[in-house]
A and B are shown apart, each in its own frame.
Chain A
């Protein structure tokens, strides 16, 4: 009846919900441990959010356009393994230095684009469900990395790792590179989503692809682009990930896909598509990472229950932002 009167309230609740949850978490963290607001801790939390965060920004576009990608965690592991292999192989020729790092980065970005393109083509050109395609590629990449590593761990040459390490641990003005790259990705993502035809087309396709098609939106192309973009961002995340521990194994990137999807949904993007918010995704990522951090900083709950607390907060955050919506 008076939906027009209720509409602004609904939106404002959706906006405030995740922010409110984040503020509550920060207060709880500060109360439980005096080191929580220490720059070292904040910096650690932000840097470790960067992997999932960068991927989740790409996932926001995919989900907004009505798609889904379950393969990102395995894809990251595979790209990391490939990157390490290529860099180790090129070491005798190129030596330790900037060129070999650039080569590694190029391999990661290229592999990400190709992987995204493969997913996207199967989904848009052959018309197979995104869920099925990416479920399949999830298994393929996970097996490939196990195979590349011969069941063990692929490790970057030690001197090379020492040289490459500043890409994760270094930075400018005390802000480490992963945080800076994450921030840049978010700004670009936000602009793309809000101010470009691409962003509007994603939302249009996600809310109704038939209508979008009749409105002259190139549905298949836009969808394909969202998967390529996500693949590229998985490559970017991997570039940041490899210098951290200098290794990739079949346990790398396990469940990242679910964390990224959870962050997107907690941030207010609709799982069925049609409405997406990049900055909301950032808040979603921060909420999820902070819960883990706070639980590690206190002995308040049994470590057996960490997963349950995280699950409860995911559900709670979504309830908070949907509070005013009718229960359908």
Chain B
């Protein structure tokens, strides 16, 4: 009898802490670091995972980066089949091809957090964390209008033709409506420095006078600045990029008149998503719903808050 009781005591002593510390696995699937913003996102994802693993020993993370949608689907399938994940944080490469596979993960009873790009079917994810693309365009447009109260001629460099790009441009156009700002031309710079450099060279050949440029991204702004510098043109008053690259934030901080401001679209949103998901796994805190991270205007006054010298972006 005594033995039975002690055995029972022993087993509960063994079982209950084990139950409390049951390891939960969180899978994180993101696109590979193939451009500046994605590089920053990879950095923030890794930093968040390192921090959370140290804070919560009961959490395990699986991080995978994919260079195209089909590889990302493979990654997610592997996570479900071999790592037994309890939660999935996914930044879909593209919405359409990822919708089915993520749906399957959700159907298997796994918590799903979708970041930045929504899926094509509503209601799959438990948590949605995203930047505000129409807001990104709107804040940029409002800044342009405030800097050019008498109107003026601008050129616009767009990203890769996607819905993200369309939403941003629509937000921008809406914001400058009636301000007297005239868009001389819009071309796709594909969020790429080299392409933007050549597109800007051609804009400079084509237009005698350009008052300002909405480069809509910091990588593109760098190409634009190089083209302006090489052409020796002094009619352009400023270039507005976006997304918060550290070099650009630094220039705004130092009061560079060509780069007076920036509009955030933080790659660190992946860290927000991972943190909130982890919180949902380790506590009773309700975390489902939508979490939209607004685009903020960065100027010389507040630039310091947005400067991350350790990030590669």
Interface string of B39-79 (1 = CB under 8 A from A): 11011000000000000000000000000000000000000
Interface string of A132-150 (1 = CB under 8 A from B): 0000000000000010011
B35 is contacted by which of A44, A250, A296, A297 (Cβ under 8 Å)? Answer: A250
Closest residue on chain B to residue A252 by CB atoms: B194
A151 is contacted by which of B38, B192, B219, B222 (Cβ under 8 Å)? Answer: B38
Of the candidates B32, B33, B231, the one having the most CB atoms from chain A within 10 angstroms of its own CB is: B33
What's the Cα separation between A41 and B34 when bound, in Å? 31
A293 to chain B, nearest CB (A): 6
What's the Cα separation between A195 and B42 when bound, in Å? 53
A38 is contacted by which of B35, B199, B205, B223 (Cβ under 8 Å)? Answer: B205
Which residues in chain A, 208-253, are within 8 Å of chain B measured between CB atoms? 244-245, 247, 249-252
A303: chain B residues at CB < 8 Å are: 158, 161, 186-188
CB of B222 within 8 A of CB of A247, answer yes
CB of A151 within 8 A of CB of B42, answer yes
B161 is contacted by which of A150, A153, A304 (Cβ under 8 Å)? Answer: A304
Closest residue on chain B to residue A292 by CB atoms: B198
The count of residues in chain B whose C-beta lies closer than 8 Å to any C-beta of chain A is: 37
Interface string of A285-326 (1 = CB under 8 A from B): 000000011001101000110100000000000000000000
Asked if A12 lies at the interface with its beta carbon under 8 angstroms from chain B, I say no
A48: chain B residues at CB < 8 Å are: 198, 201
Asked if B83 lies at the interface with its beta carbon under 8 angstroms from chain A, I say no
Asked if B294 lies at the interface with its beta carbon under 8 angstroms from chain A, I say no
CB of A245 within 8 A of CB of B193, answer yes
Known interface pairs A245-B193, A245-B222, A251-B192. Does A149 touch B312 (Cβ–Cβ under 8 Å)?
Answer: yes
Asked if A177 lies at the interface with its beta carbon under 8 angstroms from chain B, I say no
A146: chain B residues at CB < 8 Å are: 32-34, 39
Closest residue on chain B to residue A33 by CB atoms: B206
Asked if B202 lies at the interface with its beta carbon under 8 angstroms from chain A, I say yes
Asked if A23 lies at the interface with its beta carbon under 8 angstroms from chain B, I say no
CB of B222 within 8 A of CB of A250, answer no
Closest residue on chain B to residue A297 by CB atoms: B206
A21 to chain B, nearest CB (A): 20
Which residues in chain B, 274-313, are within 8 Å of chain A measured between CB atoms? 311-313
Asked if B36 lies at the interface with its beta carbon under 8 angstroms from chain A, I say yes
Interface string of B192-230 (1 = CB under 8 A from A): 111001110111011000000000000100110010001
Asked if B185 lies at the interface with its beta carbon under 8 angstroms from chain A, I say yes
A-B contact pairs, 25 of them (CB 8 A): A33-B205, A35-B205, A35-B206, A36-B205, A41-B205, A44-B201, A44-B205, A48-B201, A146-B33, A150-B312, A151-B33, A151-B38, A151-B42, A152-B39, A155-B247, A245-B194, A247-B222, A249-B39, A250-B33, A251-B34, A251-B35, A251-B36, A251-B193, A297-B202, A303-B188
Residues on A lying within 8 angstroms of B by beta carbon are 33, 35-36, 38, 40-41, 44, 48, 146, 149-153, 155, 169, 244-245, 247, 249-252, 254, 292-293, 296-297, 299, 303-304, 306
Residues on B lying within 8 angstroms of A by beta carbon are 32-36, 38-40, 42-43, 158, 161, 185-188, 192-194, 197-199, 201-203, 205-206, 219, 222-223, 226, 230-231, 247, 311-313
Known: A146-B32, A146-B33. 12 other contacts (CB 8 A): A33-B206, A48-B198, A150-B43, A152-B311, A245-B194, A249-B36, A251-B35, A251-B194, A296-B187, A296-B199, A296-B203, A303-B161
